[in-house]
Structure 1
């Protein structure tokens, strides 16, 4: 008997092999009535609070004021290139978008519980590089896109799409816990939450 066979035999004596039906039956007995939804009301305010906890600058605006709010954010950014998805609504930037060093995009969903923005690189989001390469990223989130919890957010997403979860500006810490922002993505994250 080889060493491998001896080890497997010892494991078999302690934890005997079970057939697939027995394993399936044991999984069926697991209680799954756990609390899925932790928040019913105030999810926009919760998202704003949690996203700000991650050092994102978050502001709530009415839909009619969105182009002006975007212009105000971009006016505070340094001059450079502005990257936008090809299908970004033209009304968001107005007739003459400024040239700044950053990106503007929409999102697929946002999660109130965690303050996370999820990009699936669909409509108004552009390619994945658009959200990772520029130094600054302005994300437009409609109030309807905010899910209260992670399970509901995941139900809204297509798992076959490339998903990017963004919780504040890109940041990392070294062994001495010195925080450095902008290493793996935008150093500055700004969010406009559009109220209906």
Structure 2
């Protein structure tokens, strides 16, 4: 008998001995009570976006605001400030967003399944959209949609620039966010740049993801709109 069999056997015995009410989800078990608050307080859409911006900044993300007309120039400026010469963009990201950068000589890198971690690590920046953002926790959620790409493209490169359409993509709470997400899709929940701290509470960023997270809150964009990039 393997160690795996031993562990699973112990789990089965523990579940068999537990009172029925503690084994929610089995045949004949009572439904799980979900009477917790779904939202803490009441907010207008503008207040919800402001809370998201505040909590993103609290997690050391860099927050910017833009409208559709100013977005390409803003993205170009932010990439130029980092000296980014190679930028990875998912195929569903709007072509116009990176047009100014491409015209200035920035190389746009495709999201390819064959890319190795070493190749992704060589990319200067990645630009994506998002699926939903949670105001109360300052969290961005990506679900591998056309404008977000594979999970790993936002976990390996050192700089992630994420565009959030506001207020359409912003919800108050985690329960509300879960209601918008398909559970079968791969999800990445991001609260600030990747970081950890040791026993002395010395913070280190860029441990298992981007060292720098920049978020653009985009107002006035058509909800859910994305177009394949040309070329």
Distance 1:56 1:123 in 2: 23
Aligned twin of 1:169: 193
Distance 1:94 1:173 in 2: 39
Deviations 1:102-128 (A, max 9, x none): 110111110011110001011211111
> Could you say if the C-alpha distance between residues 33 and 185 of structure 1 is closer, same or farther in structure 2, counting changes exceeding 3 Å?
same
3-state SS of 1:184 partner: coil
> Could you say if the C-alpha distance between residues 17 and 80 of structure 1 is closer, same or farther in structure 2, counting changes exceeding 3 Å?
closer
Task: Say yes or no: does 1:187 pair with 2:201.
Answer: no
3-state SS of 1:113 partner: coil
Q: Which moved more, 1:86-95 or 1:104-113?
A: 86-95
Q: CA deviation at 1:82?
A: 1.2
Task: Say yes or no: does 1:62 pair with 2:67.
Answer: yes
3-state SS of 2:70 partner: helix
* Paired residues for 1:39-188 under 5 Å: 39-41=42-44, 42-94=47-99, 96-97=101-102, 98-99=106-107, 101-143=124-166, 144-188=168-212
For structure 2, the 5+ residue unaligned runs are 1-12, 108-122, 221-231
> Could you say if the C-alpha distance between residues 16 and 69 of structure 1 is closer, same or farther in structure 2, counting changes exceeding 3 Å?
closer
Q: Which moved more, 1:93-102 or 1:115-124?
A: 93-102
Alignment coverage as a number of residue pairs: 180
Aligned twin of 1:5: none
Q: CA deviation at 1:174?
A: 1.6
Query: What is the TM-score of this pair, normalised by structure 1?
Result: 0.83
> Could you say if the C-alpha distance between residues 175 and 87 of structure 1 is closer, same or farther in structure 2, counting changes exceeding 3 Å?
same
Aligned twin of 1:4: none
Distance 2:151 2:129 in 1: 12
3-state SS of 1:73 partner: helix
Distance 2:150 2:19 in 1: 50
Distance 1:66 1:139 in 2: 12
3-state SS of 1:67 partner: helix
Query: What is the TM-score of this pair, normalised by structure 2?
Result: 0.71
Q: CA RMSD in A?
A: 2.3
Show structure 1 runs of 4+ deviating over 6 A: 15-19
Distance 2:59 2:67 in 1: 23
Determine which of 30, 34, 37 is the counterpart of 1:35. Answer: 37
